Amino acid sequence: MTETHEHIPVIAIDGPSGSGKGTISQILATKLGYHLLDSGALYRLTALSVIEQGIDPDNTEAVAKAALNLDVVFEPQLDGEQKVLLNAQDVGVKLRLDETSAMASKVAAIPAVREALLTRQRKFREKPGLVADGRDMGTVVFTDADYKVFLTASPEIRAERRHKQLIEKGVDANISHLLKSIIDRDERDRTRTVAPLVPAEGAFVIDSSHLSIDEVVQQILDFIGFSE
Ligand SMILES: Nc1ncnc2c1ncn2[C@@H]1O[C@H](COP(=O)(O)OP(=O)(O)O)[C@@H](O)[C@H]1O
Ligand SMILES: Nc1ccn([C@H]2C[C@H](O)[C@@H](COP(=O)(O)OP(=O)(O)O)O2)c(=O)n1
């Protein structure tokens, strides 16, 4: 008997921090009725486990083990947001702390960590389809993605957006500090030897510096040939 493998479509959205990947991916997933993979959250969760368990981040074996053993549940909410539970605890706020972001970028450079998270990420590919948000969705995790988008914006605009986002959440933030941390993190993400942040071959590159969220969403819907 021959097994038939039904094709499950994937839209890969990659790009640097603050380019709008999370926001745009969430809107697309809701519009298309697709599942959503926030792969950055998996790196952040690994970072949080490392911090909370007091693991030495230079001990790559121990960090990879923490990545492999993550006890995590993503609970989609009615507004399209996702609740993230680590060891049954809501860690939504902790995941976005500066300390977690910096550690996430460090653990993401460890090849064994990326390997450990690969299977977990691919499991998100379920019917009727998946919008996958990250840095290497189109280049490594879903090389056969149906559509690949690379979203970018200038570092200054990304720092401004992050600043506004944090202030709105009531979190104190300094724009020049944010800009520096965005530039440092970009550099680390781009120059690492495994899965560096680069557009996938054939990716649709969008510079959202001077585009609204709606304009970006529309460009992607046009690209994938979806009309409402
Ligand atoms: N095209 C855009 N124009 C204006 N603000 C945007 C745009 N895209 C995203 N934003 C805002 O920028 C902030 C960062 O976006 P986010 O989706 O978290 O980026 P990423 O996931 O790439 O780090 C959010 O507050 C979001 O609402
Ligand atoms: N597929 C991915 C997703 C994120 N990462 C890394 C890159 C970032 O430094 C951290 C956190 O990613 P996340 O997308 O949550 O960060 P931003 O919202 O873009 O600031 O993880 C990665 O290496 N590969």
Mean pLDDT computed over 5-24:
94
pLDDT tier for residue 3 given thresholds of 50, 70 and 90: low
Mean pLDDT computed over 126-134:
97
1: CA distance to ligand 2 center in Å?
A: 42
In a domain, 97, yes or no: yes
How many residues would you count in the chain? 228
170-200: per-residue pLDDT in tens? 888 899 999 998 998 888 888 888 888 899 9
Task: Say whether pTM exceeds 0.90.
Answer: yes
In a domain, 228, yes or no: no
The atom of ligand 1 lying closest to the CA of 24 is 17
Element (H, E) at 188: helix 175-191
Residue 22 annotated in ligand binding: yes
Percent of the chain surpassing pLDDT 90: 79
**How many domains is the chain partitioned into structurally?**
1
Here the CATH number for the domain that contains residue 100 is 3.40.50.300
Element (H, E) at 106: helix 98-107
14: CA distance to ligand 2 center in Å?
A: 10
pLDDT at 193: 85
Residues whose beta carbon lies within 6 Å of some atom of ligand 1: 15, 17-23, 161-162, 165, 208, 211-213, 216
188: CA distance to ligand 1 center in Å?
A: 21
So what's the ipTM on this one? 0.97
162: CA distance to ligand 1 center in Å?
A: 7
In a domain, 179, yes or no: yes
Q: Which two tokens stand for residue 218?
A: 């529309």
In a domain, 71, yes or no: yes
Pairing of strands 89-90, 82-86: antiparallel
Mean pLDDT computed over 50-63:
97
Residue nearest to atom 25 of ligand 1 (CA): 165
Confidence check: pLDDT of 217 > 60: yes
Which domain range does residue 20 map to?
Answer: 10-221
Q: Are 13 and 131 in contact (CB under 8 A)?
A: yes
- Three-state SS at 203: coil
Confidence check: pLDDT of 215 > 80: yes
In a domain, 138, yes or no: yes
In a domain, 227, yes or no: no
Per the prediction, the chain carries an average pLDDT of 93
pLDDT tier for residue 79 given thresholds of 50, 70 and 90: confident
Confidence check: pLDDT of 2 > 70: no
pLDDT at 1: 52
